């Protein structure tokens, strides 16, 4: 544990130094980083309140109140009583405030560009993925919305390997599965790629800022569709992504004129089973499976289309 703490502290020192340089250069103005963060929040919301700012930015209410008073005095923002609740005041930027933010946003973009321009495209992508990972883990996905997730079905190099890796560590961490399960997933993907039939088979991948956070697939078997590889990153659950992926796969199967859809799962996947049942799947049969974990019960679920 101490090694992990030391690594995080080291990262914080280096990252803070970078932010300090960016702060000085980007905000070559009369405003501090905290002030710009507040202006940014006011700018992006139609109905912004001081309570929202205090809660979202974890800012002392007294300090925030003085800052907002300064913004009003300098003509950057105005405060208006809510038409729905007279006790609430909504904040909005004036034209001067919006022009100020345009300048600061432009400078911010220029500085970030200068920071990542020397990097190759792979390094830029890895940087964004790493930042996304840090944010999602430390916030437990609280700031992520379903609209932030992009779902694609074009398979890129590395996708299959990463999704296989996700199966390995998630099922080990949450259910205690052995590495034999990861081997099984790898074999199924090998078969999928070797026998892939465009228009009948498909793999959907959910991405957040270029990081894979979920997947689901359909493999055709004559007039039946097999649902496979339904998985979500733990930090992206609870936002509706699983339901959207599952519905997407079922809709594709209907549109492709499969007569039925089936899947194999295990009895310990309670949440997934609940989603399948709500979608209309019913159990066809069950059998013992000791390949991945002791006392495991494998289930087959099916649904007519």
Tens of pLDDT along the chain (305 residues) come to 777 777 777 777 777 666 666 665 556 677 777 888 888 888 887 778 888 888 878 888 888 889 888 889 899 888 887 776 667 788 889 999 899 888 888 888 888 888 888 988 888 888 887 887 777 777 665 678 898 899 999 999 999 999 999 999 999 999 999 999 999 999 999 999 999 998 999 999 999 888 899 999 999 999 999 999 999 999 899 899 999 999 999 999 999 999 999 999 999 988 899 999 999 999 999 998 888 988 889 999 999 99
Q: For residue 264, what are the β-bridge partners?
A: 300
Same domain, 87 and 185: no
**209 within a domain of the structure (yes/no):** yes
Question: Helix %, strand %, coil % for the chain, to 5?
Answer: 55, 20, 25
**145 within a domain of the structure (yes/no):** no
- Residue of 261, 260, 258, 262 lying closest to 298 (CA atoms): 262
Last residue of a domain, one of 64, 99, 118: 118
Same domain, 175 and 258: yes
**43 within a domain of the structure (yes/no):** yes
**136 within a domain of the structure (yes/no):** no
CA gap 203, 160 in Å, rounded: 10
State the total domains in the chain: 2
Last residue of a domain, one of 118, 142, 159: 118
**126 within a domain of the structure (yes/no):** no
* CB contact at 8 A, 279 and 261: no
**73 within a domain of the structure (yes/no):** yes
Look at residue 280 in the predicted model and tell me its pLDDT. 94
Give the CATH number of the domain where residue 292 resides. 3.40.630.30
**229 within a domain of the structure (yes/no):** yes
Same domain, 165 and 98: no
Same domain, 88 and 167: no
Looking at residue 213, what DSSP letter applies?
A: E
Same domain, 9 and 90: yes
Look at residue 53 in the predicted model and tell me its pLDDT. 84
> For 267-295, where are the E strands, in sequence order?
282-289
Same domain, 219 and 98: no
Same domain, 70 and 208: no
Same domain, 107 and 158: no
46: domain range? 2-118
**Angle ∠(166,167,172) on CA atoms, nearest 5:** 105
Same domain, 104 and 172: no
Same domain, 38 and 154: no
Same domain, 48 and 172: no
**285 within a domain of the structure (yes/no):** yes
């Amino acid at each position: 544990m101490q090694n992990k703490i030391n690594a995080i502290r080291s990262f914080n020192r280096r990252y803070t130094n970078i932010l300090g340089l960016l702060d000085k250069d980007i905000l070559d103005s009369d405003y501090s980083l905290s002030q710009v963060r507040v202006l940014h929040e006011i700018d992006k919301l139609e109905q912004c309140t001081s309570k929202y700012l205090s809660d979202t930015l974890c800012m002392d209410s007294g300090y925030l109140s003085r800052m907002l008073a300064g913004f009003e005095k300098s003509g950057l923002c105005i405060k208006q009583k809510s038409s729905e609740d007279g006790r609430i005041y909504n904040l909005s930027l004036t034209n001067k405030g919006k022009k100020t933010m345009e300048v600061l946003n432009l400078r911010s973009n220029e500085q970030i560009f200068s920071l990542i321009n020397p990097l190759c495209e792979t390094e830029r992508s890895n940087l964004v993925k790493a930042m996304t990972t840090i944010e999602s883990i430390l916030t437990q996905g609280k700031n992520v919305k379903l609209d932030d997730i992009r779902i694609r079905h074009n398979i890129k190099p590395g996708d299959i390997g990463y999704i296989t890796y996700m199966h390995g560590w998630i099922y080990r961490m949450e259910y205690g599965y052995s590495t034999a399960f990861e081997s099984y997933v790898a074999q199924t993907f090998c078969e999928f790629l070797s026998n892939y039939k465009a228009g009948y088979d498909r793999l959907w991948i959910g991405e957040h800022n270029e990081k894979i956070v979920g997947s689901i697939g359909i493999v055709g078997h004559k007039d039946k569709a097999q649902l496979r590889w339904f998985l979500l990153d733990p930090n992206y659950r609870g936002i509706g992504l699983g339901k959207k992926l599952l519905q997407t796969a079922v809709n594709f199967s209907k549109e492709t004129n499969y007569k039925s859809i089936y899947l194999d799962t295990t009895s310990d996947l309670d949440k997934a089973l609940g989603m399948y049942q709500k979608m209309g799947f019913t159990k066809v049969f069950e059998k013992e499976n000791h390949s991945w974990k002791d006392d495991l019960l494998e289930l087959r679920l099916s649904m007519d289309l």
